[in-house]
Structure 1
Amino acid sequence: MQIRDLPFPDPGTPDVRSGLRFLVWLGRRQLGGQFASLVWGLLHFSSVMALPYGVGIAVQSVVERSGTALAFAGGLIALAGVCIAAGDTMLHRTAVTNWITAAARTQQLLARRTAELGSTLTRRVAAGEVVAVSTSDVEKIGWFVEAVSRFLAAALTIVLVCVALLFYQPALGVLVALGVPVMALGVLPLLPRATRLADVQREKAGRATELASDTVAGLRVLRGIGGEDLFLDRYRRASQEVRRAAVRSARMWSLITALQVLLPGLLLIAVVWYGIGLVGDGRIDVGELVTVYSAVMLLTYPLRHFEEIAMAYSFSRPSARRAARVLALERATGGAPGVAGTVPAAGDLYDPATGLLAPDGRLTAVVCGDPDAAGRLAERLGGHPPEPEGLPSVLLGGVALDELPLETARTKVLVQDKDPVLLSGTLAELLNVPASRAVSAEAALAAAECGDVLGALAQASLDEDPATAPITERGRSLSGGQRQRLALARSLVADPDVLVLDEPTSAVDSHTEARIANGVRTLREGRTTVVFTSSPLLLDRADRVVLVHEGAVEAVGTHRDLLRDEPRYRAVVTREPEDGSAAPNGHVARKGEDGGPGAAEAARTAGVGTGIDIDIEETA
């Protein structure tokens, strides 16, 4: 696998039973790259360890005044240098390829899972954790995957060197063979504590990232209520906790590093002390002592990879665990009765859990007193996982949406929630969405009353073309109403078979809302549209209005009929108590306050956009 071949056509199905299993799965998916890195690593490390043999021959040739041996030593050292350069270059190349490949595969898996879960992801996993997994955790996972092959090359080289020294000079070879395992495993008792400290650091860093992302997302609101200092102080405390945790972790790793230097140093002292005695006794030559000394000294280089693999695993293990937890999330199915697997051409949208029916080709408005319940119902109508789980699936034309492939369900039903997201880019890119092409961008923008938005974008564009004007991330450069209308235009351009809108006009004024209601009704004529709202302007233009109370349909009718006959509906729409009474001409009065100012205000609210002429004489 080459970097130029990324992204993968199919990143595969990961093993997410645990973080370690996920890491093993990633490594197995790129065995070719791991093997290449192992081969180049063996060449590099072996060439490095061949230098002491050449140096030893050179020293001994000088002692013996042998020009032939000296020339041989020079050729051996030159060959080792060439192999070191080639091996190091290709090892770095293959290692980086393995790193990027593992990270890219993980990112693709996370992106695929995010697209499958949609807005339910952030309800099941904190947004800050999703950000941490998609950024820093991906890098650490890739680091461990690529470090495995380098570690194996280093470990095999160390074994080969120890075996070679046993044959080359048994007396010193035994000492080295006994000392190397102590050097390699001497820091092992410290690794569990280092791992725990690394986990604490990652956990605190994840919380700080979550706090920062939430603060940035709500910066406009924070400024409005003067809460910047409060949240700044919270983030300052969180960042200081991260700093202290990082310092504690760094101290432990510095101790491990110090031991990695100390233990080889002690082994070198033992080799020199014992070797000098052997030279004095005439049992070995000076060149042999230099060879063994140089080999032990250079062994510290491959031994460093023992520390690196321990550090990489300590940091990647919690990252892999978090990634596996996100990737293990599944799109729940309701298991409702229905004809599963077939794709409905058209039909009524029906929710068996609440009894809500949206007839095919009609504009249905849904009134729900609980905004959170309304949001959950809107998502369920789009085939998203039911909450609470176990609810029956929504049916479109008799077919269970939860049983359809995700891509098919989303082409049939589009849900725009109450807080739609605008991605950064230009207006043309924003409206370039999968669509039927039956609705032009101009028609959608006109229906969503985006004239003033286009004017503002034209001023921000270099060529005064609103289509090329930049839109910042989440549309933060726009007002709430402008963001809402652009999101509505995007949904209208898509022109799905069924469009579900959750409070699409909550941030616009009443005059604009009235024009949007007319525009949406006209543009969506003959298409199934469901609008969750309590606005009389939208309710009056719906073909039918459904009142949902405590998870069940309470009443169905037109806005005027329900306003007159249903106290609970009137309470939600007019903000009046349920025990208020409604006069036949649309007047709504508080009990005990007939004709008072409160009744007048309620009547105005109920009558806006309904076509009912209200003439109330206010009395003191």
Structure 2
Amino acid sequence: MHIRDLPYPDPGRPDVRSGPRFLFWLGRNQLGGQVKAALWGLVHMAALVSFPIAIGFGVQAVVDRSGSRLAMAGALMVGLTVLTALGDAMLHRAAVTNWITAAARVQQLLARKAVELGSALTRKVAAGEVVAVSTGDVEKIGWFVEALSRFTAAAITTVAVCVALILYQPALGAVVAVGVPALALAVLPLLPRAARRADEQREKAGRATELASDTVAGLRVLRGIGGEELFLGRYRHASQEVRIAAVRSARMWALIAAVQVALPGLLLIGVVWYGASLARDGRIEVGELVTVYSAVTFLLFPLRHFEEIAMAYSFSRPSARRAARVLALRRSSPDSKGAAAVNGGERGEVQEATGPLGGDLYDPASGMLAPSGLLTAVVCGDPDAAGRLADRLGGHPTHDGPGDGDPGGAPSALLGGVALDKVPLTTARAAVLVQDKDPVLLSGALAELLDVPRSGEVTAEKALEAAQCGDVLDALAQASAAEADDAGPMRTRITERGRSLSGGQRQRLALARSLVTDPEVLVLDEPTSAVDSHTEARIADGLRGLRAGRTTIVLTSSPLLLDRADRVVFVPDGEAAGVGTHRELLGTDPAYRAVVTRETEDGAAVRRAGRGTGPAGHGLKDIGRIEEQIEESA
């Protein structure tokens, strides 16, 4: 695989049973690149460690006063220099290619998983964790993949040199053959502690980064309540914890580096002392002593790769474990019938769709039914429960524990009797579109924002009109004029995440983007929470008119939207407890009325008391009537 061929047509199905298995899977998929890099590494290191032969040959030629042999030694050194430079350059090229292609493969896998899970991903894993995996962890995994070929070449070269030294000079060769493996294994007891400290530093750094991001995002609110100093103090404390953890981690790695310097030095001293005594006794020639000494000196270079691979594996193993944990998240429920593990259990069995999906949308976990072609409003009361319901309606089963309103392992919804998590993802997405309560606007022109897969029945103008985006178009037109650009509002650039727009404007543009797709089923989670009541009423009318004959589910507690719905389903505590129109439920279900009107128990008692008779009750009775009229008009 060459860099110019990226991205991969198919990054494959990873083995996500554990971090080491995931690393092994990556290496197995790069076998050709690893072999190529290892061969170039052998050329580089074999030429490098062959220098002692040329040096010893030249020294002995000087001792024997042989000019021809000295010239041969010089020519040999020139040839070894050329091979060393060539091997080093090609090794670096091949190893970096392995790094980049491995990182690209992991990032493609993460992107595919994000597309597969959609908004459910951040409900299963923190968004900061996903970002950390796709940046820092990918880099550490790539480091290990890149270092693996160099370590392989270094290990083969080290073994070959030790064997050659034993054959060349058995006495000194035996000392080297025993000492080198001891040096390579000396740091292993220190690595687990170093890895734990590195993980601790990463966790503290992640918390500090998350705190900083939250502080920046809420800076306007913090200034309004005078909370800057409080959060500044918290961030200072978190940053000091990161500094302390970084110092502790650096100390351990410094100790490992010191061991890697001190022990080879002791080995070199021992070889020189023992070799000098052998040369003094006449048991070896001076050239042989120089050769062995030079070989030991050059062996220190491949030994550094043993330290590097140990560090790379210590860092990459937890990174691979985190990546595997994210990639192991599945759209299908774990207890679904017919689910089968593939390549470590990343995906489950799906059914081939025989045609376009349609019909009533039913959620088995809550009992909520949205008839085909109607506007159904759902009132949950709990925003988290509404988010989980939206996930299931979009074909993503929830795996929440007991006590949070959803049964553990709740399956996805059924559309026309077909489980959405049992059909191909593209089929489910084509049938049901879910707009999250916090939709994201990508940077680009408004025309690009609305350039999404669509049926063609709903134009961008109709969608913008239904979502009441007139003031947004006016603002974009003014921005276009201010920039001396006559492109118009549709070509005006929207900044990243729509930061140049207000919260209500961003929400309405996201609603227009969902409406223009014209899906068979549209699920909206609190689509008007950031707009005023007058605009909300017009959006409710526009939504009802534009989606006539299409299935639409709105998760909301807004009386304005509820009053425009064909039917309302009340889902407290994760189960459907009431079905009817908004006005029917207001009059018959006290729990529903409390959620919709935000009525407290004390307020309900006062209202009930105001409906009594007598002089003292007339004022409260009139207030109760007024409240009911407001509710009914809403």
Q: TM-score, normalised by structure 2?
A: 0.88
Residues in 2 aligned to 1:579 and 1:564: alpha-carbon distance in whole angstroms:
18
CA contact (8 A) 2:397 2:409 kept: no
Q: What corresponds to 2:342 in structure 1?
A: none
Cα offsets for 1:329-355 (capped at 9, x unmatched): 222438599x96444442122223333
Partner of 1:584: none
Write the deviation string for residues 119-175 of structure 1: whole angstroms up to 9, x where unpaired.
Answer: 232222222222211110110011112211111110111111112222223332222
Paired residues for 1:165-184 under 5 Å: 165-184=165-184
- 1:158 is matched with 158
2:611 and 2:624 in contact (8 A); partners too: no
Given candidates 441, 444, 447, the residue that maps to 1:422 is 441
Task: Please give the residue correspondences for 1:219-234 in structure 2 after superposition, counting only pairs within 5 Å.
Answer: 219-234=219-234
Q: Please, which of 477, 500, 513 is the counterpart of residue 490 of structure 1?
A: 513
Alpha-carbon offset, residue 78 of structure 1: 0.9
Deviation of the 1:505 alpha carbon: 0.8
Tell me the SS of whatever aligns to 2:9.
coil
Q: Which amino acid aligns with 1:447?
A: A
Distance 1:215 1:70, change over 3 A: same
- Work out whether 1:467 is the aligned partner of 2:493: no
Where do 1:195-594 residues align within 5 Å? 195-333=195-333, 341-342=352-353, 343-386=355-398, 387-461=406-480, 462=483, 463=485, 465-576=488-599, 591=611
User: Partner of 1:389: helix, strand, or coil?
Assistant: coil
8 Å CA contact 2:365–2:407 kept in 1: the answer is no
Q: Which moved more, 1:175-184 or 1:158-167?
A: 175-184
Query: Does the Cα contact within 8 Å between 2:568 and 2:580 map onto a contact in 1?
Result: yes
Q: Per-residue CA shift, 1:560-593, capped at 9, x if unaligned?
A: 4444444444333333468999xxxxx9995456
8 A contact 1:335–1:393 mirrored in 2: no
Which range moves more in the overlay, 454-463 or 175-184?
A: 454-463
Is residue 179–residue 267 contact of structure 2 (8 Å, CA) maintained in 1? yes
Give the 3 Å change call, closer, same or farther, for CA 50–460 of structure 1 in structure 2: farther
Structure 2 Cα separation of the partners of residues 77 and 327 of structure 1: 51
Q: Please name the residue that 2:627 is paired with.
A: 602
CA contact (8 A) 2:397 2:411 kept: no
* 2:17 is equivalent to residue 17 of structure 1: yes
SS at match of 2:50: helix
CA distance in 2, matches of 1:579, 1:256: 67
- The Cα of 1:84 is off from its aligned counterpart by 0.8
- Contact 2:437 / 2:526 at 8 angstroms: preserved in 1? yes
Shift of 1:455: 2.6
CA distance in 2 between counterparts of 1:516 and 1:588 reads 34
Using a 3 Å threshold, how does the CA distance of structure 1 residues 560 and 196 change in structure 2: closer, same or farther?
Answer: closer
Query: Which secondary structure state, in structure 2, belongs to the residue aligned with residue 350 of structure 1?
Result: strand
1:70 Cα deviation after fit: 1.5
**In structure 2, what is the Cα distance between the partners aligned to 1:580 and 1:229?**
38
Give the aligned residue type for 2:95. Answer: A
Whole-angstrom distance in 2 between the partners of 1:513 and 1:49: 77
- Give the corresponding residue for 1:618: none
Cα distance in 2, alignment partners of residues 219 and 30 from structure 1? 46
Q: CA RMSD in A?
A: 2.7
Q: Which moved more, 1:80-89 or 1:432-441?
A: 432-441
Q: Which moved more, 1:389-398 or 1:527-536?
A: 389-398
Which amino acid in 2 is paired with 1:425?
G
Q: Give 1:506 deviation, angstroms.
A: 1.2
Distance 2:520 2:225 in 1: 41
Q: Does the aligned pair in 2 maintain the 1:533–1:539 contact within 8 Å?
A: yes
- Work out whether residues 362 and 525 of structure 1, in 8 Å CA contact, stay in contact via their aligned partners in 2: yes
Partners of 1:47 and 1:594 lie apart in 2 by 104
Structure 2 vs 1, CA of residues 192 and 394 (structure 1 numbering), >3 Å: closer, same or farther? closer
Indicate the larger mover: 100-109 or 326-335. Answer: 326-335
How do residues 72-221 of structure 1 correspond to structure 2 at under 5 angstroms? 72-221=72-221
Q: Which amino acid aligns with 2:132?
A: A
Aligned AA for 1:559? H
Distance 1:493 1:509, change over 3 A: same
| Other-structure match for 2:35 | 35
* 1:540 match: secondary structure: helix
Distance 1:232 1:119, change over 3 A: farther
Deviation for aligned residue 1:277: 3.0
Task: Measure the CA separation in 2 of the matches of 1:40 and 1:390.
Answer: 51
Find the residue that maps to 2:284 and give its secondary structure: coil
Deviation of residue 489 (structure 1)? Answer: 0.9
Whether the aligned pair in 2 keeps the contact of 1:16 and 1:325 (CA below 8 Å) is yes
CA displacement at 1:221 relative to structure 2: 4.1
1:559 to partner: Cα distance? 3.1
Give the Cα separation in 1 of the matches to 2:493 and 2:224. Answer: 25
Counterpart residue type for residue 120 of structure 1: A
Q: 1:190 to 1:559 in 2, by over 3 A?
A: closer
Shift of 1:82: 0.9
Asked whether the equivalents of residues 488 and 504 of structure 1 are also in contact (C-alpha less than 8 Å), the reply is yes
Question: Is the Cα–Cα contact under 8 Å of residues 446 and 494 in structure 2 kept in the other structure?
Answer: yes
Number of aligned residues:
603
Structure-2 change in CA distance of 1:540 and 1:186 (3 Å)? closer
Deviation per residue, 1:298-345 (Å, 9 max, x gap) = 1111100111011111111111111111122222438599x9644444
Distance 1:139 1:392 in 2: 36
Partners of 2:492 and 2:626 in 1: how far apart?
Answer: 42
Q: SS state of the match for residue 571, structure 2? A: strand
2:337 & 2:261 partners in 1: Cα distance? 65
Deviates more, 1:95-104 or 1:327-336: 327-336
What secondary structure, in the 3-state scheme, does the structure 1 residue paired with 2:564 have?
A: coil
The alignment-based identity, stated in percent, is 72
SS at structure 2 position matched to 1:365: strand
Is the 2:477–2:492 contact (alpha carbons within 8 Å) kept by the matching residues of 1?
yes
Aligned to 1:550, what secondary structure does the other structure show? helix
Q: Give per-residue Cα distances to partners, 1:400-457, cap 9 Å, x unaligned.
A: 2222222211111111122222233332332222222322222211211112222323
- Report which stretch shifted further, 204-213 or 233-242: 204-213
CA distance in 1: counterparts of 2:417 and 2:204, whole angstroms: 49
Instruction: Give the Cα separation in 2 of the matches to 1:47 and 1:126.
Output: 50
Gaps of 5+ in 1: 582-586, 610-620
Q: Distance in 2 between matches of 1:341 and 1:589?
A: 60
How far did residue 86 of structure 1 move?
0.9
In structure 2, relative to structure 1, the CA distance for the partners of 1:261 and 1:575 (3 Å cut) is closer
Which has the higher mean CA deviation after the structures are superposed, 68-77 or 326-335?
326-335
Query: Separation in 1 of the partners of 2:50 and 2:179?
Result: 20
Structure 2: gaps of 5 or more residues: 339-349, 399-405
TM-score by length of 1: 0.90
How many angstroms does 1:108 deviate by? 1.5
Equivalent residue, structure 1, for 2:403 = none
User: CA, structure 1 residues 590+606, in 2 after alignment: closer, same or farther (shift >3 Å)?
Assistant: farther
CA contact (8 A) 2:119 2:436 kept: no
